Amino acid sequence: MTEKDDNRGIKRQHYAALGVGFVCVIIGLPLWWKTTEVYRVSLPYSDIADLTNVKIKCVIDVDVINTEPSLTDNNLADLSRIITASLGQGQEKVVHSSYRVSVRQGNDQQKSEVLKTADVKGLDTTFSKQDVLNHYQMVLLPKQSGVKVKRSHVSNGRAAYFTTAEKDLQTIAQEITNVVHSIFVKESTLLKTFRDRITSKRLKPDKESMRSVKSALGYDILFTLVNPQPDILDIQWDIKQAVRDFLGPLSEKLKEYVSLNIQSQVIYFTGLYKRPKKDSKLGEFYYTEKDLPLLINPLEAKLGSHASSNPSLNFLVYIPSREQHPLFIMDQSGSKVPSNSFLSPRWGGIYIYNVKSPSQNASLPHEVSLNMKQVMEVFISQLRLLLNLNNQIPDSTDVGNQAIRLWELDGWLRQRCIENLATSIHTLQSLTQLLERISNIVINDDIGNEVEEALSGIRQSQRYLAVGQLDKAFIQSRKALAASDKAFFDPSLLELLYFPEDQKFAIYIPLFLPISLPILGSLYKTFQWMKTKRKTKQE
């Protein structure tokens, strides 16, 4: 073997090692990487991150209609300036409202009708003709109006009435601003709701947000009659008619925004397990406030499950048994609660209905039918609390069996819209955080689509809010919430989650270790050879 041959052999050997190394590193590794890669759709991460700095602008229309003849157009122009100045503050907040104020003289028909009517109802019929969602009418009543209004009065529609007697423009503007800020548009509540939902850190909860149920696509409302002694009392309740009378208007108004699934049932032989205390003097039984939380759990076990995944609101009528009759609820001061009912936050309410006990020699079971008006009035007020429609304003028309005032509906929509947006943003951000942290989660096309839909819903909703189209904004926000929830809770995310890295290592090592060692060894030698060769050449 000559030296030349030898050198050529060495050369060939090192080039072969380089070749093998090249194939393994340049083709093998990417191929392995590609084939074992987890399928992950690219999500709009930056867009979602940008949502942190989102600012929501709600546009609200405020019309001031003057029917007082002594106020001239010039006065109205002044008034408009003052109101605009006092309404439009706090532009820098995350959720801010901007008002489109128009102050104008009422038309002749309105002026004449205002003079004619003697009560608020008459005014309502005049001004409800122009009732538009998210559009409020502030009516300045003439001094000689027959309607007696203390300072201001809020109707069941979307109007408020103000007297002009003995007031200057500044006071009128102040009152209008007050009504708009504190009743029609609760800016601080909106802001608080948004801030509360968008972070996982809970702010200090207030009563209202803890009590009301979360925003959802629909609610299951369940009325239950609990009769522990059907052998003694045969209770009849006309729940069908009652639901129609008392919940019909509510569901009619909410039908476009939320679905109400109303059910009723009767359960027998189920009592309150906690024994009430006895007041032996009066022969009455009572529960104190402390006992009330203990009543719900044993009852809830009997209520049965729902077929839907909507949050459920339970309303129970409890008929005390003969041994514990009559039964009352005492408040902290020791006096009976007038409604004889109590509310459990985000769950529902229980109403204790004392039925006259049958006399000893009456034939059993004794038939009794319940006064449904009495029952439903309690439940409607509880339902309003649970839906966060709690507005106790002294100068307003009684809500009656309508269950919801039109301006309350607006406020509810606005708040739910903000809440949906905040929750949806928060969910999306949690999702991206999760996906970024755990790298072997599969992200399907479905999830990608849902995220895109949620994002577009959020943007659309923002856009609609900014032009004052509240109903469309709400529907878009609902869509966003549903899509983001669906993406977050998609079961496909969990599929590969429990395949730990060390197990993968255990599977790869029998192949990779014996193959990579000789390759790396020969590559090392080759590089050394090349180094020495270069040195010798330089020399």
Partner 1 sequence: MILLHFLVQHYRLFPKSLGDVLTTYQVQELHLSQTQGVWRYDKWGYPPEDAAPGAELLVWFLPQASNIDKLWSDLVNALSGLFCSSLNFMDSKSTVIPRWTFRPAGLADEGYSLQSARVRYSALPKEIVCTENLTPWKKLLPCNSKDSECKSSAVELKQTLTLVYDPPTTNRNGKQDWNFRNTYSTSLSSQCPLASSSKIFVDMESANFAPFTLKPEPTRIETFRRVGEIKKYAVYDLKEVLGKQGKIDLTALYPGVMQFSDIVPPPVYASRYVTGYGLEKGGITCQIHNTLSENITVIYMETIPWFLRVYFNSLKVENNGATIKPFKIHYIPGKDRSQPYQLELVFRLRAQSTTKISLSFDRAFLKWTEYPPDANHGFYVNSAVISTILPTSVNNTAVQQHGSTIEDSMNDQSEQLFLRLHTESLLVSLPTPDFSMPYNVICLACTVVAIAFGSIHNLTTRRFQALDPSKQKKGILSKIKSKLFKSSNLENSKSDSSGKTESEADKSNQKDDLKDDNKDDKISNDTEPS
Residues that bind partner 1 (CB under 8 A): 9-10, 13-14, 16-17, 20, 222, 230-231, 239-240, 243-244, 248, 251-252, 255, 259-266, 268-270, 302-308, 365, 506-507, 510-511, 513-515, 518-519, 522
User: Alpha carbon of 165 to those of 73, 106, 172, 279, 376: distances in Å?
Assistant: 18, 17, 10, 55, 41
- Residue number, 252 or 446, with CB nearest to partner 1: 252
- Residue number, 242 or 425, with CB nearest to partner 1: 242
Backbone region of residue 134 per phi and psi (left: phi > 0; alpha: psi in -120 to 50; beta: other values): left
- Smallest gap from Cβ 248 to partner 1, in A, equals 6
- Smallest gap from Cβ 475 to partner 1, in A, equals 16
Amino acid at 531: K
- Residue number, 95 or 242, with CB nearest to partner 1: 242
Q: What's the per-residue H, E or C state across 132-143? A: ECCEEEEEEECC
- Residue number, 243 or 370, with CB nearest to partner 1: 243
- Smallest gap from Cβ 293 to partner 1, in A, equals 24
Question: Which residues, other chains included, contact 50 with Cβ-Cβ below 8 Å and sequence gap of 6+?
Answer: none
- Residue number, 283 or 514, with CB nearest to partner 1: 514
- Residue number, 222 or 455, with CB nearest to partner 1: 222
Cα–Cα distance, 224 to 203 (Å, whole number):
35
Cα–Cα distance, 390 to 383 (Å, whole number):
9
Backbone region of residue 522 per phi and psi (left: phi > 0; alpha: psi in -120 to 50; beta: other values): alpha
- Residue number, 310 or 461, with CB nearest to partner 1: 310
- Smallest gap from Cβ 218 to partner 1, in A, equals 9
- Smallest gap from Cβ 469 to partner 1, in A, equals 22
- Residue number, 255 or 534, with CB nearest to partner 1: 255
User: Alpha carbon of 164 to those of 79, 108, 196, 260, 269: distances in Å?
Assistant: 13, 18, 40, 43, 62
Q: Which secondary structure element, helix H or strand E, spans residue 286, and what is its range?
A: strand 284-287
- Smallest gap from Cβ 443 to partner 1, in A, equals 23
- Smallest gap from Cβ 519 to partner 1, in A, equals 7
- Smallest gap from Cβ 409 to partner 1, in A, equals 16
User: Alpha carbon of 175 to those of 164, 166, 170, 314: distances in Å?
Assistant: 11, 13, 9, 40
**Residue burial 146-174, b: 16+ Cβ < 10 Å; e: rest:** ebebeebbbbbbbbbbbbbeebebeebbe
